[in-house]
Structure 1
Amino acid sequence: MRRTVARRLAAVLATAAVVAAGVVLSITHATAATGGVTGYATQNGGTTGGAGGATVRATTGTQINQALCNRASTSTPIIIQVEGTINHGNTADVSGTSCDVGNTLIDLKGVSNVTIVGVGAGAVFDQIGIHIRESSNIIIQNVTVKNVKKSGSPTSNGGDAIGMESGVRNVWVDHTTLEASGGEAEGYDGLFDMKNDTKYVTLSYSILRNSERGGLVGSSETDLTNSFITYHHNLYQNLNSRVPLLRGGTAHIYNNHYSGIVESGINSRAGGKAKVDNNYFEDSKDVLGTFYTSERGTWQTSGNILDNVTWSATGTDNYPAGPSMPSTTTISVPYSYQLDNASCVPSVVAKTAGANKGNQVSDGSCNAQTPSQSPSQTPSQNPTTPTTGPTDPGTSIPPGGTNLSLGAGADGSSKASGTSYGNVIDGSMSTYWSPSGTTGRVSVKWTSAKTVDTVHIREAAGAEGNIDDWQVVNNDTGAVLASGTGAGVISFTAVATTKINFVVTSASGTPRVAEFEVYA
């Protein structure tokens, strides 16, 4: 049955309103788990954001800037919980050696290991964009960015809701709502843009709507250094074009719902390669092809549904893939993924995509579910508020309560001469455990199950910073509760277990764990 754009969009918005009551309270990082980082952001070493770092709360743009500037270095991990509306009126420039921020946008410039996550009643960036430049390992989750302008007043971020450029690596943008209220004539530009050597990016479970331009990969036919982007389970609604515009790079585009695309859809050009799997296109025009240029791109298609899609005729600078969208190349991706059947994509995307959806994800069988994998950094129950000037906050906030490791047992995978597993539960910072090499496991165990949600890994004096990558594992089930970089306080969704493991998977020096504290 053919449906009008207006009627279909109204139905989608009504469904979204029903499911929008859930509020996110946690953030996931585990790469192997449902609800964790997916797609190309899992490559090139993975994307963990601020996992393992301090958690701070921000209700203004100034506090976000302070949180970035108060770190010990530009790479000190940090999780910034945002609640409320961020705008020009509450965003001021802040000085510090670990940041390069401003007062017209949220600037992640020359930094790494940062998570920005909306919590509580939600986070809205109103007329102020998020700019990622010369940065790596960034997570943005559960936020709304709207009405960012490049002309008129106020202006921000060149008119992009989220923009990336200049050597950016490993960014995961998840469960966001990116929207405008018009096109270029009204002062808006792209919702999700990548330029000048940006690679290993995933956009998942997000809504992009009400704009002339969805987003581009490459700013011109000569900017061909951007690549390896995954777009999945997103809603593209009421957009003219660029969903995305792909110049020269490789993109994997699956399980997205396209509704009301007015002029052109996935525009693969200048050697771009698009793998287009199990998407649902409806009430739209020219949803795939090369448009507005003679420099052609290619695509591989499978399992897509076309519902009331119209096609223009092939002509100069216009090469639509329709009406049957045959493949013109073969593309392989280096990661595993689950495909929903295209027929259920509108319903599962309506339940999961966008901010304030409780971070629900698809189970790969057309059902929405809360992530089954425990997050690596659940927002702290008592996050700090940034101070007004640069400080050195360290990389962890000591938890309160009873240390359940005292009086427990301990074991592990190996131990270096002169060290002991029991040293991590003796309450003394003068003794420690080291593995026989640079990697290994140490565990805390009990005779009956304990419900725990936080561990504090304390490195011995002189060995601070030796631990690089780690995992916290529920030994009873094998589930990875958290993963990240750098020792410190690690929080996760509460779990009952008789044994919990801390696994060092890489280290820059010999790990020396003085205390493995566990808290409820």
Structure 2
Amino acid sequence: MSPAAAQTGSATGYATQNGGTTGGAGGQTVRATTGTQIHQALCDRPSTSTPIIIQVEGTINHGNTSKVSGPGCDTADDVIELKKISNVTIVGTGRGAVFDQLGIHIRESRNIIIQNVTVRNVKKSGSPTSNGGDAIGMEKDVRNVWVDHVTLEASGGESEGYDALFDMKNNTQYVTLSYSILRNSGRGGLVGSSESDRSNGYVTYHHNLYENIDSRAPLLRGGIGHMYNNHYSGLSKSGINSRAGARAKVENNYFKNSRDVLGTFYTNERGTWEVRGNVFDNVTWSSQGDKNYPAGPDPRSTTSVSIPYSYSLDDAGCLAQVLGQTAGANKGNRVSDGNCRADDPAPGDPGPGPDPEPGDPGDPPSGTNLSIGAGADGSSKGSGTSYGNVIDGDMNTYWSPSGSTGRISVKWGSNTTVSTINIREASGAQGNIGSWRVVDNDNGTVLATGSGAGVITFSPTTLRKINFEITGSNGTPRVAEFETYAGTP
């Protein structure tokens, strides 16, 4: 195990809104090796809002966690109680911090940071019990919480005595869960305790690994949830469950070996979602019926969600590598630079069809080039090149990636049907493009694979953004034009 790091970085996602989340920044730093010492540090403050950073090392358990009284706290036995307080950071350091069978309860509090800790095997039934069975639970008028680089895990589901890993209830808002691992639990977590509890929301989940979870990844009731750059593996019953009027923005996630990863489940009070850039690898979907409304097998957006903060998206196809190095406790609080691009086709992609000869443009497609007047972006751009050069109708201008591989995309402001693209290489660069894949950015579907530039056809597809991903090259790629057509040659 690598040494744990003291708090680093700044809050991301919705935790940056509503005044931001800074935890105990500027306050005294106190070390704790028991739960009682954590409570004592809170209670010794002059007031419930005096900033404090509590560095935790060792195993926190029932045997060393007792209630402490004082002007700066409202604590209890057998749980880390962050109640009616503000401006607190709890961060694992040294050889690491493990909360063993002991949950962290946040109630009527604000501006809280929890970073670089492991919370495991918290039970609501059996012995011992803590925090209603939640690893981390928030309820009643909670604001601005950033949970980062934590590992939350159980050893089973409700029948084994466990509840959820990460729950928010009763007016909890402006929360971010980032670079964390949630695994081996029946329930990942929920936002809203019932269909009528719709006062929660503005929650961001990014760069998290969900592994071996039955459902609730998360369950979202009311409010807005933003899920990006998460890797989901082994969701056995359902995944992102948007219901009771909830709105979920779901982008650039990788779903693998799972079932019903997005939709409205177990209720007729439906939610909505916006999807783009996701990859669905060996995902199975149930049939729609009463209280069961899966988004697949062809997930499409049913709403549009505006995000008020800035963020960078890694390609979904390289998340396994990124999160293997960054997610969870004791990873040195490392983060992605947001520039990871998938250089190889994702598992489960269809095999390539007939390959055109490199540099052979084929017959020009018929009809109107839909790229003229559209927008463009990409993974990177070489010196002196521009994304917009591929949609300007000028063969003398071009885009190149900053390396030998990369992505260039054409996008529209409304749904557009495309069945043919024509990739035209700049003069002097014919044959430089090697292997590629064409991807529907809206839902991650691979439309075609092959090698060499030229005309590429596929089944008519309605989308808002189409990606041409160069995964191999014979020299520096130079794309002069990325033409798109509704018709076929």
TM-score scaled by length of structure 1: 0.65
Which structure's relative contact order is higher, taking Cα pairs within 8 Å and 6+ residues apart? 1
Alignment partner, residue 407 of structure 2: none
Larger CA Rg, structure 1 vs 2: 2
Which among 25, 33, 45 is matched to residue 51 of structure 1?
A: 25
The amino acid of 1:167's aligned partner reads D
Alignment partner, residue 24 of structure 1: 4
Distance in 1 (alpha carbons) for counterparts of 2:331 and 2:43: 30
Helix, strand or coil at the partner of 2:281: strand
The amino acid of 1:295's aligned partner reads E
Alignment partner, residue 495 of structure 1: none
Note if 1:297 corresponds to 2:271: yes
The amino acid of 1:122's aligned partner reads G
Q: How many correspondences in the alignment?
A: 341
Which among 263, 273, 283 is matched to residue 257 of structure 2?
A: 283
The amino acid of 1:262's aligned partner reads S
Distance in 2 (alpha carbons) for counterparts of 1:92 and 1:224: 34
Note if 1:106 corresponds to 2:86: no
Deviation at 1:340, TM superposition (A): 0.1
The amino acid of 1:98's aligned partner reads G
Distance in 2 (alpha carbons) for counterparts of 1:159 and 1:316: 30
The amino acid of 1:180's aligned partner reads A
Which among 179, 185, 201 is matched to residue 205 of structure 1?
A: 179
Deviation at 1:22, TM superposition (A): 3.3
TM alignment of 1:334-373, pairs within 5 A: 334-366=308-340
Distance in 1 (alpha carbons) for counterparts of 2:289 and 2:3: 48
Deviation at 1:23, TM superposition (A): 2.4
Alignment partner, residue 236 of structure 1: 210
Note if 1:65 corresponds to 2:58: no
1:251-292 Cα shifts (integer Å, max 9, x gaps): 000000000000000000000000000000000000000000
Note if 1:145 corresponds to 2:145: no
Note if 1:160 corresponds to 2:134: yes
Alignment partner, residue 224 of structure 1: 198
Structure 1 unpaired stretches of 5+ = 1-20, 29-34, 368-520
Note if 1:41 corresponds to 2:15: yes
Helix, strand or coil at the partner of 1:62: helix
Distance in 2 (alpha carbons) for counterparts of 1:56 and 1:103: 20
2:190 touches 2:219 (CA, 8 Å); kept in 1? yes
Alignment partner, residue 258 of structure 1: 232
2:326 touches 2:336 (CA, 8 Å); kept in 1? yes
Moved over 4 A (4+): none
Alignment partner, residue 502 of structure 1: none
Distance in 1 (alpha carbons) for counterparts of 2:252 and 2:161: 34
2:264 touches 2:293 (CA, 8 Å); kept in 1? yes
Distance in 2 (alpha carbons) for counterparts of 1:359 and 1:351: 10
Alignment partner, residue 31 of structure 1: none
Distance in 2 (alpha carbons) for counterparts of 1:102 and 1:279: 39
Distance in 1 (alpha carbons) for counterparts of 2:159 and 2:315: 38
Distance in 2 (alpha carbons) for counterparts of 1:333 and 1:74: 32
Deviation at 1:346, TM superposition (A): 1.2
Structure 2 unpaired stretches of 5+ = 342-489
Deviation at 1:166, TM superposition (A): 0.4
2:48 touches 2:72 (CA, 8 Å); kept in 1? yes
TM alignment of 1:181-196, pairs within 5 A: 181-196=155-170
Deviation at 1:349, TM superposition (A): 1.0
Which among 41, 54, 74 is matched to residue 80 of structure 1?
A: 54
Alignment partner, residue 172 of structure 1: 146
Helix, strand or coil at the partner of 2:114: strand
2:6 touches 2:92 (CA, 8 Å); kept in 1? no
Deviation at 1:93, TM superposition (A): 1.1
TM-score scaled by length of structure 2: 0.69
Q: Could you tell me the percent identity over the aligned residues?
A: 74
Alignment partner, residue 380 of structure 2: none
Deviation at 1:40, TM superposition (A): 0.1
Distance in 2 (alpha carbons) for counterparts of 1:100 and 1:341: 44
TM alignment of 1:422-437, pairs within 5 A: none
Alignment partner, residue 355 of structure 2: none
Note if 1:95 corresponds to 2:69: yes
Distance in 1 (alpha carbons) for counterparts of 2:18 and 2:4: 28
Distance in 2 (alpha carbons) for counterparts of 1:116 and 1:341: 31
Distance in 2 (alpha carbons) for counterparts of 1:233 and 1:42: 16
Helix, strand or coil at the partner of 1:362: coil
Deviation at 1:37, TM superposition (A): 1.0
2:5 touches 2:330 (CA, 8 Å); kept in 1? no
Distance in 2 (alpha carbons) for counterparts of 1:221 and 1:25: 40
1:138-175 Cα shifts (integer Å, max 9, x gaps): 00000000000000000000000000000000000000
